Structure 1
Amino acid sequence: MSNEHYLHNPLIHADRRLGRHRSPWVRQFDCTHIAPLIICRGPIRKEAMDVFREMGISHFGILLSEKDSITYQNALAPELRAMTDPDRIHRVPDYTGANKEERDQRIRQIINIAHDNGYNAIFAGYGFMAEDETMVSAMEAAGLNFIGPCSRTVHDAGLKDEAKRTALKAGVSVTPGVDNATALTLLKKHPDAAALKALAHEKGLAVDAALFDDDSLALEDLADDVLAASYDKGIDLYTVDELCETLTEVVEKMATDYPENRVRLKAISGGGGKGQRILGIGEAARTPELAREILNEVKTTGVGDNKNILVELNIETTRHQEIQVLGNGDWCITLGGRD
């Protein structure tokens, strides 16, 4: 089958220049002033380029990882064939960096590329980088429009542990499991509010002093507050070995509670299926091995990285449904979904 069905399919391609619409209300959503830098890769990058052109956006650029050039030396992706101006192809060592320090460097590099080349917006696609709160907040602070959720929303919904806690507070059912393994690990070493307060003082962490005397705050939540301050400062309060020990204990308990089910380990960040491993029945001893694989895969092995990993019951018969939602805090609409 040729690609003509895709190239000339009216259900895929259309004139999206809203500034030419007959309705004044629709015309206010004209986007021709947007100049986006596309920082994702793969098919979504080409799709974004097509849609931006159909929206009347003429000035946009893309990142090109040096690793792509090394891996695919003799290949030329469709989006590169379509980019006739080489000045709009910006080379970077890789897209995300291998650790926290490199990620911060890459974020600064992306911001500099945008400022130096007249881009006023960032498009990160979906999953992985698009769910990186640090990156989104840095783009906002640099005066760039991030095409996607704001950093606060990414924090509340993009991190899987925060998303589960938000869902639980709203009375929404979630997959059985543990979402605070790092807090449990910290509490093994500092088991009460006084010990956590002493730790925060010793490490110079910016934690609201009133929290340590708040009897309504669960100890595990207080531990999470201390951990959040440690991530902001870029220091570790636990080792990977200590975390793996806690994760193993959690997996063993889940195996007791659900003896006929496998267990899924899942990184709190990332997307596109990254950072997930399944432990078979009776495989709790493999937890440290798989946990380290996850941390390496989502690149959270650096000092000061949030290394939390979810432990969940693996739902064997399920379907993955994604619903796109757009809202402003007062109202929201759904934009369709995919199975």
Structure 2
Amino acid sequence: MHCYPLPETTSPARQANPPTPHERAAPALIGSILIANRGEIACRVIGTAKRLGIRTIAVYSDADENARFVRLADEAWRLGPAPAAESYLRADRILDIARASGACAVHPGYGFLSENEAFADACAAAGLRFIGPPASAIAAMGSKSAAKALMSQAGVPLVPGYHGEDQDPARLEREAAAIGYPVLIKASAGGGGKGMRIVERAEDFAAALASCQREAQASFGDDRVLVEKYLEAPRHVEVQVFADTFGECVYLLERDCSVQRRHQKVLEEAPAPHLPAHVRRAMGDAACTAARAVGYVGAGTVEFIMDRHGDFYFMEMNTRLQVEHPVTEMITGLDLVEWQIRVASGQPLPLAQSQISARGHAIEARVYAEDPERGFLPSTGTLTHLSAPACGPHVRIDTGVEENDSISPFYDPMIAKLIVWDETREAALARLARALDDYRVAGVATNLRFLGRIVRHPAFASGKVDTGLIERHQNELFAAEAPATDEELALIALAETLAGHRPGDEAWLTRRDWRLNGRRTRHLEIRIGEAIESLTLEGALPALTIEVRGRRMTARGTLDGTMLHADLEGRKLAATYLSRGQGRTLFVGGRRVEASLIDPFAAGDGAPHGETHLKAPMPGRVVTCCAPVGARVEKGTPLMILEAMKMEHTLAAPANGVVKAFYFAPGDQVDDGADLIDFEAE
């Protein structure tokens, strides 16, 4: 399911674009656009382009051959194999396709080549409009170090730090000591939380620097870093700016992106809660100053960090459209991709600063295929079930996947962006909580339950947010899921009975435990986690009596495909019930219950789980082996570092013990579940 952004029915805050002084002589819109990206952002650009009558050309890797954005585009061309380095980062191949397809312009989306000045230059040299800033602006802001030097000259406030070109580790360590711990190491060409480490103690600096540099090189092809004072409990507030070729620059208010994990945004909202009007104006003015300092054109985001006193400092400028741009669109009623296309076509900004206003509050949640209980490890696989909340004026979904699509190990594991809008922040929060409950995904692990806990947490509800919120409240946010309730078990038993019933037949006559002249009774055993639950069912459809943990409940209902409508003791419930092999999944009341049927007549294989084999938690590449074979290590000691989706993941010793063998060497690719390390626990 997908909701196009800002369809012609308009959003609640939709602003009309009044005539501008240049309108009569404004050039025509670009006629065709090649989208040098994939997934939800490609779908997002296609949606606006189609509304404007613009032809769209998609490019795809082998992994994306059947992806949704490929089906949506007017035409699609193969780029190459699945790895990004052989497809979406192949600027030469993208430009060849642009010329062959007759494209007039290239939209880079975000990520991949979106902030690559060489690519922007190459587009211009090929006679293509680059729907983004000029290469000079990308170059000026592409290096965090150079950008901060430029901002210092322009009078934009900066966090104390070292942004120099000398990258000798000893020099960096001396600078960190001079700044004072804790410090933040950041990839100079980075973004998205990649290549970033907080270092609390001097003795941890060298290892953190090496890890940061490896991740930066893998993600951006540039291992340079900068070192800054780490502000404790800061807010992350960013300002959306827009500039045209006529020298006009405006800001479209701000977004608060403070709720983060691993320096990656989890929730974003606009406007920023509890931000005084004078601070909002000052940040907007500073953002426009930053944009003008580099001769900016198009959409950009100036990111600031705020301390607890309300003072703000420039962090970086992202020279592209941001993942979280929909919250700005929802409160302003503007289509930022349309603005991008108009500016790239040579038209002036549709609105002046005095004409920009906002209404209500919007919040975006990033729905990912990842497992928060396992350190947010990406989860790959097929989306065997995908049902999203209903879209409308208050709920928007930007997604690049549909049911039965796959989440591959090659790219970001985003499933969708869920955006809600309402008149107040409190009402928007309530809508988001309900929408998260209504989002149902099976086949991969997701962060939906984790998002729901954040949204309902008093700290977030208060609006007094900072980047340490998740870590500070991790005990509540990562609390173990409550055991299945009696009612949930009864619903599984009822659904299982309804699934086995054929209209016109007596369901019990098909069961092997039916006995002539005996009571109509069936026993059902299911496994949930490590627990085995025994259920007893009596009677015949449509009414059953189900005994769960000594409690007897009357139950009746209907099962239409996967939709279960049940009546338990007079309480009516709607749920989704999925069946795959022996596995069963129940979605009800915002809960997801995973179970498996136990066949009492099935023989087990008797094979014990090998506790000495540490397995790959996801597909990836071995970066390094951290301990020698034969070493005796303590619990928590790093043993191996894997790289997956351009992020590093450390496998640690599960207990005190001895490293017996490594099955893979640095540089090797490994599959999900592959044996990596032979480890003997004491």
| Range of TM-score over shorter length | 0.5 to 0.7
DSSP 3-state at the match of 1:325: strand
**1:1-339 maps to which residues of 2 (within 5 A)?**
10-11=10-11, 25-26=22-23, 28-29=25-26, 31-57=28-54, 59-68=55-64, 77-83=67-73, 85=74, 87-93=75-81, 97=85, 106-180=90-164, 183-185=165-167, 243=168, 245-246=169-170, 249-259=171-181, 261=182, 263-282=183-202, 283-300=204-221, 306-316=222-232, 317-328=234-245, 330-339=247-256
The residue identity in structure 1 corresponding to 2:187 is: A
Work out the CA distance in 1 between the residues paired with 2:144 and 2:198: 17
Local SS of the residue matching 2:186? strand
1:62 Cα deviation (Å)?
Answer: 1.3
- The equivalent of 1:201 in structure 2 is none
The one-letter code of the counterpart of 1:79 is F
Question: Given the two structures, how large is their TM-score scaled by the length of structure 2?
Answer: 0.33
Q: Which has the higher strand share?
A: 2
CA contact (8 A) 2:240 2:254 kept: yes
Q: Write the distance in 2 (CA, Å) between the matches of 1:28 and 1:274.
A: 44
Deviations 1:91-122 (A, max 9, x none): 33358527xxx95xx11111110000100111
How many residue pairs match? The answer is 254
SS in 2 for 1:321: strand
Q: Percent sequence identity over matched residues? A: 27
**Larger helix proportion of the pair:** 1
**Distance between the aligned counterparts of 2:50 and 2:107, measured in 1?**
14
Instruction: Tell me: CA distance 1:92–1:270, structure 2 relative to 1, closer, same or farther (3 Å).
Output: farther
**1: distance between equivalents of 2:3 and 2:178?**
53
SS in 2 for 1:324: strand
Q: Shift of residue 45 of structure 1?
A: 1.2
- CA distance in 1 between counterparts of 2:122 and 2:190 reads 18
Q: In 2, are the aligned partners of 1:267 and 1:310 still within 8 Å (CA)?
A: yes
Alpha-carbon deviation of 1:22? Answer: 8.4
The structure whose RCO (Cα within 8 Å, separation 6+) is larger is 1
Q: Secondary structure at the match of 1:129?
A: coil
Q: Alpha carbons of 1:118 and 1:141: their partners in 2 closer, same or farther (altered >3 Å)?
A: same
Look at both structures and tell me which one has the larger radius of gyration over its CA atoms: 2
Give the drift of 1:124: 0.6
Cα deviation code 1:125-149 (max 9, x no counterpart): 1345211111111111111100010
- The question of whether the paired residues in 1 share the 8 Å contact of 2:34 and 2:105 is answered with yes
- What code does the residue aligned with 2:78 have? H
The answer on whether the counterparts of 2:241 and 2:249 sit within 8 Å (CA) in structure 1 is no
Instruction: Answer with 108-117 or 36-45: which moved more.
Output: 36-45
SS of the residue 1:287 aligns to: helix
Change (3 A) 1:281 1:67: farther
Which sections of structure 2, spanning at least 5 residues, go unmatched?
257-682
Q: TM-score, normalised by structure 1?
A: 0.63
SS in 1 for 2:241: strand
